Amino acid sequence: MDTKHKLLKEYFGHSSFRHGQEDIIDELTSGRDAFCIMPTGAGKSVCYQIPALMMKGITIVISPLISLMNDQVTSLTQSGIRAAYLNSSLSSGQYSRVLENIRCGAYKLIYVAPERLTTESFLRVCREIDISLVAIDEAHCVSQWGQDFRPSYLRIPEFISFLPVRPVVGAFTATATQRVKEDILSILKLDSPFTITTGFDRPNLFFSVIRPEVKKKKLLELMQERQGSSGIIYCATRKTVEEICSTLCENGYNATRYHAGLSETERKQNQEDFVFDKKPVMVATNAFGMGIDKSNVSYVIHYNMPKNIESYYQEAGRAGRDGEEAECILLYNGSDVRTAQFLIENSEPNPELDEAQQENVRRLEYDRLKYMTFYSTTNDCLRGYILKYFGEAPKSYCGKCSSCLMQFETVDALVPAQKILSCIIRSGQRYGRKTIIDILRGSKNERIIRLGLDKLTTYGIMKESSEKNIRDIMICMEENGYIITSAGEYPVVRAAPGCMDILKGRTSFEIKVPKEKLPAKKREKKESYSGEYNVDNNLMNRLKELRRELSEAAGVPAYIVFSNAALADMCRRQPTTAEEFLEVSGVGKKKLEMYGKAFMKAIKDYKADFNR
Q: Residue 326, SS3?
A: strand
Q: Which residues contact 432 (CB under 8 A, 6 or more apart)?
A: 485, 490, 491, 492, 493
- For residue 334, count CB atoms less than 10 angstroms from its CB and return exposed for 0-12, middle for 13-18, buried for 19 or more: middle
Higher pLDDT, 73 or 177: 73
Cβ density class 205-241: b for 16+ within 10 Å, e for less: bbbbbbeeeebeebbeebbeebeeebbbbbbbebebb
Task: Read off the pLDDT of each residue in 79-93 and give the average, rounded to a whole number.
Answer: 91
Determine the pLDDT at residue 532. 44
Determine the pLDDT at residue 558. 86
Confidence of residue 50 (pLDDT cuts 50, 70, 90): very high
Say how far apart CA 45 and CA 500 lie, in whole Å: 51
Q: Which residues pair with 255 in a beta bridge?
A: 281
Determine the pLDDT at residue 520. 45
Give the type of residue at 479: E
Q: Which of 6, 100, 88, 11 is nearest to 49 (CA)?
A: 11
pLDDT at 257 over 50: yes
Question: What is residue 498's DSSP assignment?
Answer: G
Give the type of residue at 432: G
Determine the pLDDT at residue 147. 66
Determine the pLDDT at residue 291. 56
Q: What is the pLDDT of residues 382-394, one digit of tens each?
A: 999 999 998 888 8
Higher pLDDT, 281 or 324: 281
Q: Confirm if 174 and 314 have CB atoms less than 8 A apart.
A: yes
Confidence of residue 362 (pLDDT cuts 50, 70, 90): confident
Say how far apart CA 10 and CA 582 lie, in whole Å: 9
Q: What is the pLDDT of residues 222-237, one digit of tens each?
A: 999 998 899 999 999 9
Q: Which of 61, 24, 52 is nearest to 139 (CA)?
A: 61
Cβ-based neighbour number of residue 546 at 10 Å? 19
Q: Confirm if 190 and 134 have CB atoms less than 8 A apart.
A: no
pLDDT at 528 over 50: no
Q: What is the pLDDT of residues 536-580, one digit of tens each?
A: 888 998 999 999 899 888 888 888 899 888 998 999 999 999 999
Cβ-based neighbour number of residue 161 at 10 Å? 9
Say how far apart CA 285 and CA 243 lie, in whole Å: 12
Maximum separation of any 2 CA atoms in the chain, in Å: 87
Q: What is the DSSP string of 71-104?
A: HHHHHHHHTT--EEEESTTS-HHHHHHHHHHHHT
Say how far apart CA 359 and CA 448 lie, in whole Å: 32
Backbone angles phi and psi of 575, in degrees to 5: -70, 145
Domain 3-197 top-level CATH class: alpha beta
Q: What is the pLDDT of residues 262-300, one digit of tens each?
A: 998 999 899 889 988 889 999 999 888 665 668 789 999
Say how far apart CA 143 and CA 171 lie, in whole Å: 13
Q: Residue 348, SS3?
A: coil
Q: Which helix (H) or strand (E) holds 602?
A: helix 589-610
CATH number for the domain whose boundaries are 408-514:
1.10.10.10
Q: Which helix (H) or strand (E) holds 282?
A: strand 281-284
In the chain, pLDDT over 90 holds for what percent of residues?
Answer: 58
Q: What is the pLDDT of residues 11-29, one digit of tens each?
A: 998 889 988 999 999 999 9
Q: Confirm if 34 and 171 have CB atoms less than 8 A apart.
A: yes
Q: Confirm if 170 and 136 have CB atoms less than 8 A apart.
A: yes
Tell the CATH topology of 205-405: Rossmann fold (3.40.50)
User: Over the chain, what is the mean pLDDT?
Assistant: 89
Say how far apart CA 262 and CA 256 lie, in whole Å: 12
Name the residue ranges covered by the structural domains of the chain.
3-197, 205-405, 408-514, 537-610
Give the type of residue at 547: R
Q: Confirm if 176 and 184 have CB atoms less than 8 A apart.
A: yes
Q: What is the pLDDT of residues 129-150, one digit of tens each?
A: 999 999 999 999 998 776 678 8
Task: Read off the pLDDT of each residue in 450-476 and give the average, rounded to a whole number.
Answer: 92
Which CATH superfamily is 537-610 part of?
HRDC domain (1.10.150.80)
Q: Confirm if 526 and 428 have CB atoms less than 8 A apart.
A: no
Say how far apart CA 307 and CA 341 lie, in whole Å: 8
Q: Is the pTM of this model over 0.85?
A: no
Cα distances from 160 to residues 65, 117, 165, in angstroms, run: 20, 9, 9
pLDDT at 518 over 50: no
Asked if the domains 3-197 and 205-405 are classified in one and the same CATH topology, the answer is yes
Angle formed at CA 459 by CA 456 and CA 464, multiple of 5 degrees: 165
Range of lowest pLDDT (332-341, 369-378, 527-536, 555-564): 527-536
Determine the pLDDT at residue 352. 64
Strands 493-495 and 483-485, by their bridges, are antiparallel
Q: Residue 493, SS3?
A: strand
Say how far apart CA 482 and CA 474 lie, in whole Å: 9
Q: Which residues pair with 85 in a beta bridge?
A: 111
